[in-house]
């Protein structure tokens, strides 16, 4: 397996584009994106656990009842959530795009991101669709990635090449996510494409199994959005034998999917609103997987720890505090904690108690852009990883006037 360029256009048969249609006031920012497959594709999706859900999710769920899709349309700048005519707008987006592409409206995945509770007009979207379709390119992934951004500061694209039964396949994705991100289908939009042939049922199984250890292990601020959605389209154009059951090919596909999703998780976490650092909590020695995941998520969600990491303060007591209230059954007297970065590793806690360490060295370690928080529980062989970011002054600035 190797990393390649191309994002959602890396796989055969996929084109993409992004344009400014007028939803966002800033004309320099793209606000409407399209991903299209040359042929109908198997499609799987997972959605936010928030009881308040964006209208596009309702429409997409209905469209994907048959497990197939051919195109994805997504606008930014407006979440189309809590609107009286939200479903109607989402359906109109699908119908207008379907007419322009010559496909079924039921084969359109529709998504929106942005401000909640703000009326969304169909006029700018309708006016932008012709240019959106006409501008579809084999290398349009970057434009599509830009069109789904809200407070994101970087475009998030990943792609890899792998083999299934001797056939070369590709899988790639784009994502948006910077704020309102918390475990249990963390708030984000992720669109993944592959030219591998896999049945809708097995694709759904792969995606549902993967997010438990990837997107559900990301937290920026403890808020779960209304519009989260991760979709995967598999058009089969690589020509491999269709995956219809578990086996070597399904395992290889899962590994490729996981490679893409983990990298997208890291990009999302590193680009948290106002963030200056990517935090990665690695828990080892847990009695079981649920314990490892609970501990990792609790540590990464701690506002006090996140603030300490922003200040490059090796306040390891906040790590133990987060473990203590996580609800996980752990032996406190066996917990080890260390911080690691490109500048080195420093042990700060052994068997639940502090150890002598150099504050100067610790600060050097914690001033790096990527920090690993290493937690050893000393009670078993299970492990888990969670991703987050530091908590900075800018997070409050961004969200203090997000709507106005």
Phi, psi of 41 (to 5 degrees): -130, 155
User: What percent of the chain is modeled with pLDDT above 70?
Assistant: 95
- Domain boundary, last residue among 218, 250, 270: 270
Nearest Cα neighbor of 29 from 78, 70, 72 is 78
Q: How many CB atoms lie within 10 A of CB 200?
A: 17
Q: What is the per-residue pLDDT for 48?
A: 81
281-311: pLDDT as tens digits: 999 999 999 999 999 999 999 999 999 999 9
- Domain boundary, last residue among 220, 241, 270: 270
Per-position b or e across 45-76, b if 16+ CB within 10 A of its CB = bbbbebeebbbbbbbbeebbeeebbbbbbbbb
Dmax of the chain from CA atoms?
68
**Confidence category of residue 45, pLDDT binned at 50, 70, 90:** very high
Domain shared by 324 and 381, yes or no: yes
Q: Strand, helix or coil at 16?
A: strand
Antiparallel, parallel or unpaired: β 229-234 and 189-194: parallel
Domain shared by 303 and 394, yes or no: yes
Q: What is the per-residue pLDDT for 271?
A: 82
The C-alpha angle 337, 343, 347, rounded to 5 degrees, equals: 20
Nearest Cα neighbor of 98 from 140, 59, 137, 145 is 59
Domain shared by 142 and 16, yes or no: yes
pLDDT at 401 over 80: no
Domain shared by 231 and 298, yes or no: no
Order of strands, sheet of 278-286, starting from the edge strand that comes earlier in the sequence: 353-354, 344-350, 336-341, 370-376, 278-286, 382-389
Domain shared by 321 and 254, yes or no: no
Domain shared by 120 and 236, yes or no: yes
Count of structural domains, the chain: 2
Cite the active site residues.
187
Q: How many CB atoms lie within 10 A of CB 8?
A: 30
pLDDT at 234 over 80: yes
Q: Name residue, tokens 């920090």.
A: 371
- Structural domain including 282 reads 278-400
Domain shared by 148 and 218, yes or no: yes
d(CA 54, CA 86): 8
**Confidence category of residue 221, pLDDT binned at 50, 70, 90:** low
Domain shared by 226 and 313, yes or no: no
Domain shared by 161 and 205, yes or no: yes
Q: How far is CA 357 from the centre of its chain?
A: 36
For the question of whether the overall pTM of this predicted structure is more than 0.85, the answer is yes
Per-position b or e across 120-150, b if 16+ CB within 10 A of its CB = beeebbeebbeebbeebeeebbbbbbbbbbb
Q: What is the mean pLDDT of the chain?
A: 92
Domain shared by 239 and 359, yes or no: no
Beta-carbon contacts of 17 under 8 Å, excluding residues fewer than 6 positions away, are 33, 34, 132, 133, 135, 136, 137, 140, 143, 144
Domain shared by 302 and 355, yes or no: yes
**Confidence category of residue 92, pLDDT binned at 50, 70, 90:** very high
The residue among 319 and 402 whose pLDDT is bigger is 319
Domain shared by 178 and 230, yes or no: yes
Q: How far is CA 46 from the centre of its chain?
A: 11
Task: State the CATH number of the domain containing residue 100.
Answer: 3.60.70.12
Task: State the CATH number of the domain containing residue 320.
Answer: 3.10.20.340
102-149: pLDDT as tens digits: 999 999 999 999 888 888 999 999 999 999 999 999 999 999 999 999
- Domain boundary, last residue among 241, 270, 299: 270
250-266: pLDDT as tens digits: 999 999 999 999 999 89
């Amino acid at each position: 397996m190797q990393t390649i360029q191309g994002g959602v256009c890396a796989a055969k048969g996929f084109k993409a584009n992004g344009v400014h249609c007028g939803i966002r006031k800033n004309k320099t920012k793209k606000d409407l994106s399209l991903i299209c497959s040359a042929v109908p594709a198997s499609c799987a999706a997972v959605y936010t656990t928030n009881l308040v859900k964006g209208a596009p999710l309702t429409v997409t769920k209905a469209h994907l009842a048959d497990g197939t899709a051919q195109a994805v349309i997504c606008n930014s700048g407006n979440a189309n959530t809590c609107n009286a005519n939200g479903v109607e707008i989402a359906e109109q987006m699908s119908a207008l795009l379907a007419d322009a592409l010559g496909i079924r409206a039921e084969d359109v995945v529709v998504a929106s991101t942005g401000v909640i509770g703000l009326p969304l007009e169909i006029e700018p979207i309708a006016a932008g669709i012709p240019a959106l379709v006409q501008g579809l390119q084999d290398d349009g992934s970057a434009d599509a990635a830009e069109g789904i951004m809200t407070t994101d500061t970087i475009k998030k694209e990943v792609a890899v090449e792998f083999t299934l039964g001797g056939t070369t396949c590709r899988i790639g994705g784009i994502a948006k996510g910077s704020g309102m991100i918390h475990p249990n289908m963390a708030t984000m939009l992720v669109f993944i494409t592959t030219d591998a042939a896999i049945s809708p049922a097995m694709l759904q199984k792969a995606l549902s199994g993967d997010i438990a250890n990837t997107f559900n292990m990301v937290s920026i601020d403890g808020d779960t959005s209304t519009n989260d959605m991760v979709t995967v389209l598999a058009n089969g154009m690589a020509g491999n034998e269709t995956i219809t059951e578990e086996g070597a090919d399904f395992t290889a596909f899962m590994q490729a999917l996981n490679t893409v999703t983990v990298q997208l998780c890291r990009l999302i976490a590193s680009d948290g609103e106002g963030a200056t650092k990517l935090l990665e909590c690695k828990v080892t020695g847990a009695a079981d997987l649920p314990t490892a995941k609970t501990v990792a998520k609790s540590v990464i969600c701690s506002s006090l720890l996140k603030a300490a990491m922003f200040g490059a303060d090796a306040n390891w007591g906040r790590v133990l505090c987060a473990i203590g209230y996580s609800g996980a059954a752990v032996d406190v007297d066996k917990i080890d904690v260390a911080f690691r970065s490109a500048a080195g590793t420093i042990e700060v806690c052994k068997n639940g108690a502090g150890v002598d360490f150099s504050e100067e060295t610790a600060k050097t370690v914690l001033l790096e852009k990527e920090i690993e928080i290493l937690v050893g529980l000393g009670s078993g062989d299970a492990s888990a990883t969670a991703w987050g970011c530091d908590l900075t002054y800018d997070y409050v600035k961004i969200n203090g006037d997000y709507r106005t």
